Amino acid sequence: AGPSGPKICCLGAGYVGGPTCAVIAFKCPDVQVTIVDLNADRIAAWNSDSLPIFEPGLDEIVKARRGKNLFFSADVDKGILEADLIFVSVNTPTKKTGVGAGFAADLAYVEAATRRIARVATSSKIVIEKSTVPCRTAESMRAILEANSSGDIRFDILSNPEFLAEGTAISDLMHPDRVLIGSLQTAEGRKAQLALADVYAGWVPREKIITMGLWSSELSKLAANALLAQRISSVNALSAICEATGADVDEVAYACGLDSRIGPKFLKASVGFGGSCFQKDILNLVYLSESLHLPEVAEYWRQVVSLNEYQKLRFSELVIRRLFNTITHKHIAVFGFAFKKNTGDTRESPAITLVKHFIQEQAFVHIYDPKVEQSQIEADLTHPDVGTLHQYKNYVTIHTCPYDASKAVDAIVVMTEWDEFQQLDYQRVYKNMNKPAFIFDGRLILDAKKLRGIGFQVEVIGRQA
Ligand code: UDX
Ligand code: UDX
Ligand code: ADP
């Protein structure tokens, strides 16, 4: 006999859908979870020994439940037909053309997924919006589902935004600060809300499962990401003042973070934030504010993204300035290409922007990242907004070892805070570099004093040299 609890299907086997549903299956052996995707290659990878995404702890839980109550399938319609609850966890990239280009979310994938549910379903479903989407998307989904429902089939729509961060996804999912479920404030809406809450209650304390209206729930997700990104831009703005005045941004952040009203987390200065969410969600908020005729509000949030661009540019300029105002035909090692440690994801990684600047100056760039695939780096650096294949072939070399990457280079630029960069033998690194040997710490993770003792010229964000 199979599991006796509700059946869940998830449309979209990506960074959000994959880990989320794997944890549900792991924590609720009673629930049958099927993750489907249009991309058959991605599904094949989920069914193989080498999962399509790297996330600490993910392999173990997938292996523990796969084939028992966790299934990955390219048969989208079968997944829909069998499920009681359907998560919609498809991609929502920023629109590239048309109205709202560069700001608004492209909801074509969400709409296509919703229409497919409406077309295929032969029984009532609870449809759960999991992708980050602008407010009122749930309303559009509801309209599509209702217009396409017939007779005794009903669709209830919930908003259940995911707050996991990459690199810590499994522990975030196992121990969430909160689970948020938005619904229509009707009897049926509350019933659907309860059905989903019962699944999470398999491992999350009830008081952490909070319920509210659909629109509040959708806005809460955008707001949380905007507030987090705003903290980073705030501390990065302070880092520029520190560099100009001799204060130390780590000390300033530490002092501020001790105020319980501020708190210590998310105050680490850096070369800039990346990742698939922050910029996209803030630009969504900007677009929303403008659509609501609130230009001052739009401008406020837009500034968080502008400051992030400024931070990346400032760092590139620092590298060029210190290397005697030219990096043309110099060799630069880039340590880390992922947007943060413990992930192989490069979406919106600040490393892409920095390497783009270096290549435009015709520097030879040597990239080392412990988890990012070479094909991904090539795709990112040959994207039309970044560079050409010709530039990539002439100026970029990918290395599988940090010592090789830094051999005979003029400078090392630390882009990602991988732990291993703290443990390298910097005596050895120094010996093999051109002199003067520069190291630029874009993540404030290295022991600058020790490196100076070895002979390095060290530059750290938020600190005077
Ligand atoms: C502030 C700092 O809190 C304190 O640490 C510093 O030493 C002096 O400045 P104060 O101005 O006395 O203290 O009061 P505070 O509680 O910070 O409130 C400042 C203003 O912000 C008030 O008008 C308050 O109504 C408003 N406020 C505060 C909000 O509108 N929303 C909030 O969530 C908090
Ligand atoms: C973020 C939110 O944290 C998560 O709740 C939401 O569900 C998705 O978006 P993620 O983008 O995966 O998660 O990673 P996060 O840890 O938030 O880091 C985002 C970027 O900010 C990274 O580039 C990181 O290096 C940078 N960052 C983070 C800083 O520069 N300083 C900090 O103090 C924290
Ligand atoms: P996220 O970071 O939000 O999880 P990803 O791009 O990693 O985003 O994953 C989204 C996945 O959704 C992709 O693998 C894509 O193929 C899949 N997808 C898009 N549209 C549909 C659909 N209608 N049905 C099933 N899967 C879909």
What confidence category does residue 2 fall into, taking pLDDT thresholds of 50, 70 and 90? low
Kindly state the percentage of the chain with pLDDT values over 90.
Answer: 91
According to the annotation, is 288 in a ligand binding site?
no
Best residue for ligand 3 mutational test, from 20, 77, 91, 130 (most atoms within 8 Å of Cβ):
91
Q: CB-based contacts of 2: which residues, under 8 Å, 6+ apart?
A: 32, 69
Kindly state the percentage of the chain with pLDDT values over 70.
Answer: 100
> Which CATH class for the 306-460 domain?
alpha beta
Look up the pTM and report it: 0.95
Output the residue whose Cα is nearest ligand 3's atom 22: 113
According to the annotation, is 347 in a ligand binding site?
yes
Question: Hey, what are 303's tokens?
Answer: 């500034």
Closest CA to 440 of 420, 461, 426, 421: 461
According to the annotation, is 92 in a ligand binding site?
yes
Best residue for ligand 2 mutational test, from 177, 225, 278, 283 (most atoms within 8 Å of Cβ):
278
Q: Which atom of ligand 3 is nearest to the CA of 53?
A: 7
What average pLDDT does the chain have? 96
Cα four-point dihedral sign 141, 142, 146, 147: negative
Q: Is the peptide bond before 436 cis (omega within 30 degrees of 0)?
A: yes
According to the annotation, is 163 in a ligand binding site?
yes
- Asked if 424 and 206 touch (Cβ cutoff 8 Å), the reply is no
Q: Which atom of ligand 2 is nearest to the CA of 416?
A: 25
> Which CATH class for the 7-204 domain?
alpha beta
**Distance of alpha carbon 112 from alpha carbon 238, whole angstroms:** 44
**Using a 6 Å cutoff on CB, does residue 18 contact ligand 3?**
no
Mean pLDDT throughout 1-26?
93
**Using a 6 Å cutoff on CB, does residue 364 contact ligand 3?**
no
Q: Taking the domains of the chain in order of start, what are their residue ranges? A: 7-204, 306-460
pLDDT tens figures, 156-203: 999 999 999 999 999 999 999 999 999 999 999 999 999 999 999 999
Domains 7-204 and 306-460 share a fold: yes
**Using a 6 Å cutoff on CB, does residue 270 contact ligand 2?**
yes
- Biggest CA-to-CA distance, the chain: 77
Length of the chain: 465
ipTM: 0.94
